[in-house]
Amino acid sequence: MEPVNLTREDLAAVQEGKGKRTWIVFYTVFSLVLIGCGAWALGTRYALTEVKPHVFVWVPEDIHDFDGDPRFDVAGTAGFIIGQDGVIVVDTTNTPFHAREVRYEIRERTDLPIKYVIDTDSRGDHILGNEVFMDERATIISTPVAAAAMREYHRDLVKRMDAEGEPGLRMRQRMRGIHFTLPTEEINKEMAIGVGGEEVRLLLPLAGPTAGNIVVYLPASKVLFLGDLFENGYKPQIQGADIQKWVAYLREIATWDVDVYVPGHGAPGDKKSLADFIQVLENAGKTPSPQEDSSPNQATSGP
């Protein structure tokens, strides 16, 4: 009898041991897969492209962020130009966390001061990273109209964060570590700025999804940063904009000597991508869809 009992205990012990080993193997494999996924996610959170020598475009992965204003939970495309004396940044994304990714890419390439930041738009998905470049003592440029819209947006943001109960708590959690930062200089006429090397022109289009936009034009490099006047692969954010005026402006710039049109969302495009967007915009103008107008953020990338 004894040997039989021992065998059963042995068997139980062996089975238990096997079970433990199986779980250890399972957890190890599972952990490795998770680490692998993490590394993959980190590796593809954004793409940086040097579209022309010293002109870079930062394009975020198409994901919804858990930090920042939920109304602007997808970052806008950003960019930077490295001159001989300094750096110009175009748009600062929807959180300082993404803006730090942009700054990291700048610092990988140069120690020159970041002299200017251009906010092409007043909306959160393009400006909520401003604080990162304020720390760099950059001059943050927008238009008076956009700056006024930002101040109004800030008041609304504070109101939403102060709200009672779950909504306020959620907003405060999401906005933790984010310091709303307004532009430091407002321009009301077109001008050129320089950081050594080619001229960078700041244009004020009187068309587009919102008022007070700035378009950044590099004539020598033939690059045009359009902000949300152009969205590459995303639906336009119409929201009551004057589509005819908008289309007319895009048709005009389509004839300029430009190779790279940088959108407010999506990857850098060419004349073909801009023509496709104009087509989409024209169709939207012909057949207005109330559904699209009321919830553009859900379908695309930010109101």
The contact set with Zn ion (CB under 5 A) reads: 76, 125, 228, 264, 302
In angstroms, rounded to a whole number, what is the distance separating the alpha carbons of residues 297 and 303?
5
CB of 180 to Zn ion, least distance (A): 17
Those residues whose C-beta lies under 8 Å from the C-beta of residue 31, and which sit 6 or more positions away, are none
Q: Which is nearer to Zn ion, 102 or 195 (CB)?
A: 102
d(CA 303, CA 238) in angstroms, rounded, equals 9
Q: Which is nearer to Zn ion, 183 or 264 (CB)?
A: 264
Residue with smaller CB distance to Zn ion, 205 or 264? 264
Give the shortest CB-228-to-Zn ion separation in angstroms.
Answer: 4
* Shortest CB 155 distance to Zn ion, Å: 20
* C-beta closer to Zn ion: residue 154 or 222: 154
DSSP per position, 216-253: EEETTTTEEE-GGG-BSSS----TT--HHHHHHHHHHH
Is-contact 222 108, C-beta < 8 A?
no
In the complex, least distance from residue 209 CB atom to Zn ion, rounded to whole angstroms: 8
Q: How far is CA 42 from CA 35, 61, 240, in A?
A: 10, 10, 38
Sheet strands (E) in 12-127: 46-52, 55-60, 78-82, 87-90, 114-118
Q: Which is nearer to Zn ion, 93 or 221 (CB)?
A: 93
Contact 93, 123 (CB under 8 A): no
* Least CB distance to Zn ion at residue 101 (A): 17
Q: Nearer to Zn ion by C-beta: 83 or 264?
A: 264
Smallest gap from Cβ 51 to Zn ion, in A, equals 19
CA terminus-to-terminus distance, the chain:
79
| Closer to Zn ion by Cβ: residue 76 or 96 | 76
Nearest in space to 122 (alpha carbons), one of 228, 248, 268, 253: 228
Q: How far apart are CA 207 and CA 242, in angstroms?
A: 7
Q: What's the min distance (Å) between Cβ of 124 and Zn ion?
A: 8
